[in-house]
Chains A and B, each alone.
Chain A
C-alpha cells in the first residue's frame, strides 16, 4: 500500500524567513496530494492541494511543488508569521479519495 514519508519532523524558523517541508510517496497511482494545517486541539484544515497533472500551485504565501518522476512533493511557506506555527501534514491519495498521511511537521515561527 501507499507509504508517505515527511521531513523534517520539527522546523524552527525566524519570522519572515521561508519554511520548506518535504514528502515522498511510494505508490505511483497516487494522484492527489493535499496539505493540512492542524493547530493544537483543532481539526486539520486544508491549506493547499495539488493534483498529479500539475507541477506547481501557489496561493499567496503558500506553494506546493510536485515531482511525479521522483515521487516527492513539497510545501513552501514564504514570509512566515507566528500564526503559521502549527503541525503540518502532507497526504497522498492512492484511490477512492482515501488519504495516507505523513507523520507531520511541527513548525515553530519565532518572532
Chain B
C-alpha cells in the first residue's frame, strides 16, 4: 500500500491570498488526484494530477483557481488561489499504485483543513 502525507495539515488564511498544499507519496503511483471535502459532506474530485503536464480538471474547477503541479511520480502540489471563505474545506490528495496486485486501490492523504477568514 502507498503511504501519503500532506503539508500543511491545517491553515487559517486571509481572503485574497493563496495557499499551496504539498502531497508526498512514499512509493511510485501511477495516478494522483486532488479532492475537496466540505464540512460534513462527501468528497468531490477537483482534478487529476498528470506527471509533467497540465492537470485534468473536473467540471466546475479551473486551473486559474486551483493550479496543480506534479513534477514526478511521488509528489504533487495544489494551490488554492485568491481565496474566499467559500474555499474553506478539507483538501485531500490520493494516489493509485497501479501494481498488478493492487491495480485500482486509491489511498488518501490525511487532508489539509483550510479556513479562510
A interface with B by C-beta (< 8 Å): 1, 32, 34, 36, 42-46, 49, 51, 89, 93, 96-104
Contact B111–A43 (Cβ < 8 Å): yes
B interface with A by C-beta (< 8 Å): 30-31, 33, 41-45, 48, 59, 92, 96, 104-111
A50 to B42 alpha-carbon distance, docked (Å): 20
Contact B104–A42 (Cβ < 8 Å): no
A46 to B48 alpha-carbon distance, docked (Å): 20
A103 to B45 alpha-carbon distance, docked (Å): 13
How far apart are A49's CB and chain B's nearest CB, in angstroms?
7
Closest chain B residue to A44, Cβ basis: B108
Contact A96–B106 (Cβ < 8 Å): no
A96 to B48 alpha-carbon distance, docked (Å): 9
Closest chain A residue to B43, Cβ basis: A101
Question: Shortest 8 CB-CB distances between A and B: which pairs?
Answer: A43-B108, A101-B42, A97-B96, A97-B31, A101-B43, A43-B110, A32-B104, A44-B108
